Structure 1
Amino acid sequence: MFFAGMAILSTLMVPATARAEDEAILRLGIVSFLSGPAAGPFGVPAANAAKMMVGALNAGRIPQPYNGIGIAGAQIEIVLVDEAGGVTKQVTEYRNMIQRRGVDAVIGYISSGSCLGIAPVAEEMKVLTVFHTCGTPRIFEEANYRYVFRTASHSATDGIGAARYLVDRFPNLKSYAGINQNYAWGHDSWRDFEGALKVLKPDFEFKTHQLPKLFAGQYNAEISALLVSRPDALHSSLFGGDLEAFIFQATARGLHENTRLILTTGETMMFQLAKRLPDGLIMGARGPYGVFASDTPINKWFRKEFQDNFGLLPTYPAYMMGQAILGLKAAYEAVKTKDALPDTEAVVDAFSFLEYTAIGTTVKMALGEGHQAITGTAYGIFGHNEDTGAPIINNVISYSAECVNPPASTNTVDWIAQGMPGAQCD
């Protein structure tokens, strides 16, 4: 059951049992793409994960250490908002959630543009806001926030991990190119990948970098330029419908036959579109999620529950949403009292520099004065099981958080330019 056709704003109570009239309620704003080209691969899986996780939390059905009812004993009510429509609209929707719908905290935002626009508004309104997916490093490297957190690594992790994978797995490649969306996410992703690649393999020859607009849909001109330049490797942080459209158009023209395609968000395609994808694509999941997640009790529960409810295995947007919800629960419960929900100021203090167990990894709120998470990441090569045809990932290399993230109080661009000193990649 997907959120197809859902209204832009709705309130969902996910009850476990009959509630007493005086039972505490935590009203949680959840923002995700429910319409548009990013909805199917990203927004809907994330929204489905939120509904599933909240239902399980309200019933106390998540494995330890999250088996306590709700959040700090309170039942959770969701106010679900569609992220489609642009930054200005999102700022308006955010204010409406707080002022008209009375949400206590917000978890959301896939687009880097949305996060950059929402962060100062959250700070102004003093509302605890957790970004679950957006990737630009600029949020906490260009400003300091008290009420804003991000429980996923930023895009430097993806770019550095991709560069390391190419050099480690394919040391004989000689040239590279890129195709990335022409906005904050695409620019930041390319900058960090190319910077890391120049450190790791200075003689790698640059061919071309294509920058189509966000949600372009058609990539014939860019594919022609890539075919002419014939790079050995191609980096792409395209996501959602853009990634799917590009891959179908590029593989139809044979781009993958002579060029290694490394797709930092590629894991979102591997189940739903498996029959249409060629073997050999290098895929990441923006961290240790999906097929790259550790086989923990929570992960086993999460995968089974998601597949039972929605008919597909969860991909990384679902993991990132679940990870954010568990982070919020961990922060609230670090300062909970017997009599009432802790206030926002106490929860914010507890969230800063928090380290907690997520679905398939450990999250450390180590950067951005304790507001920006670090995790490890992994890449592997997509293929199909010879006997069953099921999608699989081979040749996986995992990198620790300390290998692919800058140290605290260090600007990402500067750290990469300095040669990534102190990176721990054993």
Structure 2
Amino acid sequence: MLRSTRAIRRFDSLIRNCAVLLIVAAGVLAAPEEAHARIELGATAQEAEATVGCMFPLTGRAGLYGRDSIGGIKLALADLQAQSGHKPAPKLRVIIEDDRSKASFAQRIATDYVERDKVRFLCGVISSGVAQAVNRMARERGVLFIGTDHASSRLTIEEFNRYYFRLSNDTFTSMAAGARYLADLQKKNKWKRLVYLGPDYDYGHVSWRDLKSNLDRLGVRYQVAGEYWPRLYEPDYSAYIEELANTKADIAVIGLWGGDFVSFLKQAISSGLNTKMLIANFDTGGSYDVLESLGRHAPSGLILSSRHHNNWPDTARNRKFVADFHKLEGRYPTYTAEGAYSGIMAIGHALAKAGKHASTDKLISTFENLRLSLPEDPDGFSSYIDPLTHQVMQAQAIGEVVPSGAFPPAQVMLSNWTVYPAEALRPPAELIQERRARARQASPVVQPPRKEE
């Protein structure tokens, strides 16, 4: 089995490190990647009442998610002004730089934001490994960090600190919904065997832990047919797909995201894996870029969800957000657009409530009691911050792939929704306390490889 034992993981890591050294040596003669220019939105430095320093990947395999995040920020700044009524909205200056999905690079950017730009808020970040590095720096400096689309629940449970808040679903939320879906499915089709494949760093490992924890809490009886850990940005999944097929599992839960999941899914469908077992991705698999990649046919055997959907909920607020993004950017948004939108909206609303010159302590208290209506909220519900974890609490919808030309160029979308309310997905207080106590004696978390695209 690929990467299924600790010894094989060490050997694979050694081979990968040797390969990285060869790549670095070869790269000495190559021109360095051109840095993406700093982007500034909103108020000028002279006008701003608060400066927000955001970090997203703007180049490489995850670059689309950074670019969509910028689109979401633009919409948030416009909506804050439109919703302010008679009371002027806080004047926000938003700075954005390319973190290249690298922890050390993002830490340098964040430090520069704090020391040179005097930001009151750090914001954004797509990779959980990068977010953990920025979070440590923010805690040390006492600067608020408003996370958007990184998802490891370790940030709000084991590594909780008062300066960090997250405005998109985390792995616990997604896997709590996924576990409930699988529990209901087992009552219908009597599935028994489950296999997992996820990226070999903290996000992938925590996703698997959160899924198993939630399945166990629900009393689901199942067999683990295997677990596999490809590297981040793996170009070829064919060997892993063959191993997945050989497990003869009933369901494969995939923890890959972005271009990695797109690449995996194309190869998996080509090999017919989806005809041998159900393929589920409960956190990011339903993102628009994934659906667009599937082409004109709606493959069977896929169970997908995401942190935002363009066609759910079918509310005036969500329809407006999607239409506004399309008008602004000329394409439909991936889930990261709404995550970045939510982060800036939260900052704007917190400043408006606490006061533009409020202390950090006052802002923390305001965030802990914050409720706001966001595009992904179904009618009658507003997102809110859980004061115990600083994690936004939101509903989650899981769907099946069906033909649809409503959001071109994608020719399929998700439908046949199963929706789980936010309260059903909230981690129990005793679980939070147990994990935090255990973390004080735990080994260091697994970080992404140093060499990334």
Same fold (TM over 0.5): yes
Match of 2:21 in 1: none
- Which range moves more in the overlay, 238-247 or 133-142? 133-142
Q: Distance in 2 between matches of 1:353 and 1:56?
A: 21
1:44 equivalent to 2:67? Answer: yes
Closer, same or farther: CA 78–312 of 1 in aligned 2, 3 Å:
same
Cα offset, 1:84, TM superposition: 1.3
Letter in 2 for 1:38: A
Q: Closer, same or farther in 2 for the Cα pair 1:203/1:49, shift >3 Å?
A: same
Task: Determine helix, strand or coil for the equivalent of 1:182.
Answer: coil
Equivalent of residue 81 in structure 1, options 86, 97, 104: 97
Alpha-carbon distance in structure 2 between the residues aligned to 1:412 and 1:296: 37
Q: Relative to structure 1, is the Cα distance of residues 343 and 72 closer, same or farther in structure 2, using a 3 angstrom cutoff?
A: farther
Quickly say closer, same or farther: Cα 1:174–1:291, change in 2 above 3 A. farther
Counterpart of 2:419 in structure 1 is 398
Instruction: Please give the residue correspondences for 1:355-366 in structure 2 after superposition, counting only pairs within 5 Å.
Output: 355-361=371-377, 362-366=382-386
Gaps of 5+ in 1: 416-426
* 1:197 and 2:243 are equivalent in the alignment: no
Measured in 2, the distance between the counterparts of 1:364 and 1:412 equals 21
1:192-223 deviations in Å (ceiling 9; x for gaps): 21232344464322211111011112112211
Q: Which of 294, 302, 317 does residue 298 from structure 1 map onto?
A: 317
**What letter is aligned with 1:383?**
V
Deviates more, 1:237-246 or 1:118-127: 118-127
2:353 pairs with one of 309, 314, 334: 334
Deviation, structure 1 residue 379? 0.5
- What does the per-residue CA deviation read over 1:361-407, in whole Å, with 9 as the maximum and x for residues that have no partner? 222211535x2222221101012139998423222111111212213
Task: Give distance in 1, aligned partners of 2:54 and 2:305.
Answer: 25
1:254-293 equivalences in 2 (<5 Å): 254-264=272-282, 265-268=284-287, 269-275=289-295, 278-280=298-300, 281-286=302-307, 289-291=308-310, 293=312
Partner of 1:168: 184
* TM-superposed deviation, 1:261: 0.7
Trace 1:23-422 onto structure 2 (pairs within 5 A). 23-40=47-64, 42-57=65-80, 60-61=81-82, 66-68=83-85, 73-169=89-185, 171-172=188-189, 173-200=191-218, 202-264=220-282, 265-268=284-287, 269-275=289-295, 278-280=298-300, 281-286=302-307, 289-291=308-310, 293-336=312-355, 341-361=357-377, 362-368=382-388, 371-385=390-404, 390-408=411-429, 410-411=431-432
Q: Which moved more, 1:356-365 or 1:154-163?
A: 356-365
TM-score of the pair, normalised by structure 1: 0.84
Residues 352 and 277 of structure 1: CA distance in aligned 2, closer, same or farther (over 3 Å):
farther
SS at match of 2:174: helix
Amino acid at match of 2:109: E
Q: Does structure 1 retain, via aligned residues, the 8 Å contact 2:90–2:351?
A: no
CA contact (8 A) 1:263 1:284 kept: yes
**Closer, same or farther in 2 for the Cα pair 1:380/1:101, shift >3 Å?**
same
Q: How many residues align?
A: 393
Matching residue's letter, 1:404: L
Which aligned segments of 4 or more residues in structure 1 are displaced greater than 6 angstroms?
386-389, 412-415
Structure 2 distance, partners of 1:412, 1:228, is 39
Moved more, 387-396 or 238-247: 387-396
- Rounded Cα–Cα distance in structure 2 between residues aligned with 1:28 and 1:413: 34
8 A Cα contact 1:271 1:313, kept in partner: no
- Partners of 1:122 and 1:414 in 2: how far apart? 22
Map of 1:419 onto structure 2: none
Deviation at 1:349, TM superposition (A): 2.1
Amino acid across the alignment from 1:285: S
Whether the 8 Å CA contact 1:291–1:393 is kept in 2: the answer is no
Quote the Cα distance in structure 2 between the aligned partners of 1:106 and 1:296. Answer: 31
Q: For the Cα contact (< 8 Å) 1:217–1:241, is it kept in 2?
A: no
Tell me how far 1:34 sits from its aligned partner. Answer: 0.7
CA positional deviation for 1:276: 6.1
CA distance in 2 between counterparts of 1:275 and 1:290 reads 18
- Whether contact under 8 Å (1:151, 1:363) holds in the other structure is no
Indicate the SS of the match to 2:134: helix
